[in-house]
A and B are shown apart, each in its own frame.
Chain A
C-alpha cells in the first residue's frame, strides 16, 4: 500500500507562471488536506477536500489559489501567477472516511516550490 504520493518533489517557476501540485492519497482514503510550510514557519492548513467537494477552504488565499479533488485522479493545488512569496513546501495529507478520534493523518513528502 503506497503512501501519499506528491509530485513533483521540486518545482521551479518564474514569477507570473502557473504552478500545479499533485497529490494521490493513500489507497482507500477519500479525504485530502493541503498544508503550506513557509521557510522557518510551521505548517498552516490551506484546504480540506473530499471527492468532488471542497469542505473547508478557510486557509486558502483569496486570490490565485484553487484546489480540486476530482472523482477520478489526484487532487490538484493550483497557483496562478506565482509570486516570490509563494515559495514554500506544500504538503498533502490523507485520511480515511471514518473521522473519529482514532483517525490518523498521513503525509506525503511534499512539493517544494521555488519562485524565481
Chain B
C-alpha cells in the first residue's frame, strides 16, 4: 500500500531564505508526482508535475526533483516571499490499479517579512 510522507510538517522562515520541502513514498511504481499549493480555505493549485522518467522540473523560483528508486522528491523554493505562505502537498499517481492520487499530509509554510 502506497504511503506518502512529508517532512517537515510545518516550517516558519524569514523572507529571502531558500527552502527545501521533502516528500517520500513507499512504492516506486508511480506514473508521476505532483506538487500542489493550498491556501487556507481554498482549493489546490498545481505547481509542478514530474513524470516518472524525469529527474526534475522547474517553474520560476520553484524546482522539484524526483528520485524514483529511493522514493523521494524535493521541492526547492528560492528566495522565499511572504506570498509563498501556504500548505504544500505532494501527491503520487500509481502506475497500476487506477489513476488516483495519493497525497501526503503536507508542509505548512509560513514566510514572515
Q: Do A and B bind each other?
A: yes
Interface, chain A (partner B; CB < 8 A):
31, 33, 35, 41-45, 48, 55-56, 59, 91, 93, 95, 99-110, 112
Contact call B43/A41, Cβ cutoff below 8 A:
no
Other-chain residue from A100, A102, A106, A109 in contact with B42 (beta carbon distance below 8 A): A109
Chain B: minimal CB distance from A95 (Å): 7
Segment at the interface with A among B14-22, B77-85, B96-104: B96-104
- Pairs A-B, 6 closest by C-beta atoms: A109-B43, A107-B44, A101-B51, A56-B98, A42-B105, A45-B100
Q: Does B25 sit at the interface, judged by CB under 8 A?
A: no
> Are B43 and A101 touching (Cβ within 8 A)?
no
Chain B, 24-64, CB within 8 A of any chain A CB: 31-32, 34, 36, 41-46, 49, 51-53
Q: Establish whether residues B34 and A105, one from each chain, have CB atoms under 8 Å apart when the complex forms.
A: yes
Residue pairs across A and B with Cβ atoms less than 8 A apart, 27 shown, are A31-B99, A35-B101, A35-B103, A41-B105, A43-B89, A43-B103, A45-B102, A56-B97, A59-B100, A91-B44, A93-B101, A101-B51, A101-B52, A101-B53, A101-B95, A103-B32, A103-B93, A104-B32, A104-B34, A104-B49, A105-B91, A107-B45, A107-B46, A108-B43, A109-B43, A110-B42, A110-B43
C-alpha spacing A105/B43, complex, angstroms: 13
Are A102 and B32 closer than 8 Å at their CB atoms? yes
CA–CA, A97 and B53, complex, Å:
20
Cβ contacts under 8 Å, A91 to chain B: 43-44
State in angstroms the CA–CA spacing of A116 and B98 once bound together: 35
A53 to chain B, nearest CB (A): 12
Contacts of A110 in B (CB 8 A): 42-43
A48, A104, A105, A109: most-surrounded residue (chain B CB, <10 A): A105
Partner pick for A48 among B44, B95, B100, CB 8 A cutoff: B100
Contact residue among B32, B46, B100 (Cβ-Cβ distance under 8 Å from A101): B32
Q: Which residues of B contact A33 (CB under 8 A)?
A: 100-101
Chain B positions within 8 Å of A105 at CB level = 34, 46, 91, 93, 101
